[in-house]
């Protein structure tokens, strides 16, 4: 899905927003971080996790030169990928709506992404990116490890994933 930024923003703002996930059983809170993928060719992705359910979504890859860009440029890329993730229903067939809140473990990036979202007209608290707690951070590391091991296995043994 490739949308221009104004269409992406309006599509994101049109999504419903609920405190609970569509299942109604867990919080609609999402953790995100930029993660390096050490396979050929190496790159970075936006990793999203709902800590309460363990649901993982990965968006990207990020543009190859994004590692060397300014914080403002990287924050803009992250903000757009966050919205793209939810507009695209996190890769599923059913809309999950907008998150209730999102968190990250990078305070500098949290502030920059929040400012970027605010500048794009995103409000209702989503322009305020919180810092994740220790338990959620551990869960994110665990889920990223599982995802990465699975990805490496598929890349190393493509026949086993068929």
User: In which band, very low, low, confident or very high, does the pLDDT at 2 lie, cut at 50, 70 and 90?
Assistant: low
Q: Is the pLDDT of residue 9 over 80?
A: yes
Phi, psi of 103 (to 5 degrees): -135, 160
Residue 158 confidence (pLDDT): 67
Average pLDDT over residues 6-34: 94
pLDDT above 70 for 8: yes
- Of 65-74, 80-89, 125-134, least confident by mean pLDDT is 65-74
Amino acid 160: pLDDT: 62
Q: Return the C-alpha torsion angle 85, 87, 90, 94, nearest 10.
A: 180
The answer to whether the predicted template modeling score (pTM) of the entire model surpasses 0.85 is: yes
Q: What is the pLDDT of residues 107-137, one digit of tens each?
A: 999 999 999 999 999 999 999 999 999 999 9
Strands of 11-133 (E only): list them: 29-37, 43-50, 55-59, 101-104, 130-131
């Amino acid at each position: 899905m490739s949308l221009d930024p104004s269409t992406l923003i309006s599509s994101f703002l049109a999504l419903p927003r609920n405190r609970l996930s569509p299942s109604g059983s867990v919080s609609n809170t999402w953790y995100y971080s930029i993660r390096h993928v050490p396979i050929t060719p190496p790159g970075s992705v936006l990793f999203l996790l709902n800590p309460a359910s363990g649901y993982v979504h990965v968006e990207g890859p990020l543009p190859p030169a994004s590692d060397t860009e300014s914080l403002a440029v990287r924050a803009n890329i992250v903000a757009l990928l966050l919205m793209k993730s939810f507009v695209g229903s996190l890769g599923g067939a059913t809309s999950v709506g907008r998150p209730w809140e999102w968190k990250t473990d990078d305070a500098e990036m949290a502030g920059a992404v929040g400012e970027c979202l605010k500048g794009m007209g995103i409000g209702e608290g989503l322009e305020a990116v919180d810092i994740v707690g220790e338990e959620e951070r551990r869960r994110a590391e665990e889920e990223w490890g599982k995802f990465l091991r699975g990805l490496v296995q598929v890349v190393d043994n493509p026949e086993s994933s068929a």
